Amino acid sequence: MTSTYVATEARRTRRAFFEERSSVLSASLWLCTLIVIPLAGVVVRAHSGPPFPIVTDRVVAAYRVSVWTDPDATDDRSAAGQFWVMLQPSQSGASIPPGTRVDVTIRPLDRQGEAQAGRAEPVNADVARQFVALVMDHEGPFGVLVAIDGPLGRADVDASTEATYDLRPRPLLTIVFVMPFLVVGFVWGKLLIKRRMHTRGGR
């Protein structure tokens, strides 16, 4: 067996190895793309951004009421459904007096479930702007009841909002996102080991 023949066979073996590696890596990258793109679409459709109004300047009894929300759903029962209640007197020239209380209650509209309620707290000691965070344990529509009580009297405001997961991926989605890249790394490592074995076998 001549040295020319050996060199030719070695080159052929290396070429076949690189072609195999390219084929396997291309298939792996396509697999990553097919998995990640649909999941990215799911995440993009989730709620993200600043709070938005669900009630705007609604006059009820002695109050003009606006309600803003950032309705993030959570799986760990953390209170991420945020509500801001802004109050103005319905009569001009008046002000919201101290001692005005605001309670917010939410209830799922798409299934059976317990109502979640909380007493809002003034933001920076301003009773005209109050905030509360409540648990929204799933995506879907929620009814919202804002109950106001104080020296100007009582008023109830009904509204609704749609709870969605935040853009931050949940732990399970994080694992699914990372897994394809781990697979590619594993395949790459196996090919490198195979290359070394081929190289040693050709010596």
Q: What is the pLDDT of residue 175?
A: 65
Q: What is the pLDDT of residue 40?
A: 47
Confidence of residue 44 (pLDDT cuts 50, 70, 90): very low
Q: What is the pLDDT of residue 178?
A: 64
Question: What is the CATH code of the structural domain delimited by 52-165?
Answer: 2.60.40.2480
Residue 71 has pLDDT above 60, yes or no: yes
Q: What is the pLDDT of residue 9?
A: 55
**Alpha-carbon span 116 to 81, nearest angstrom:** 10
Give start and end residues of each alpha helix (H) in the chain: 3-44, 171-202
Residue 45 has pLDDT above 50, yes or no: no
Q: Are 1 and 150 contacting, i.e. CB atoms less than 8 angstroms apart?
A: no
pLDDT digit string, tens, across residues 120-130: 999 999 999 99
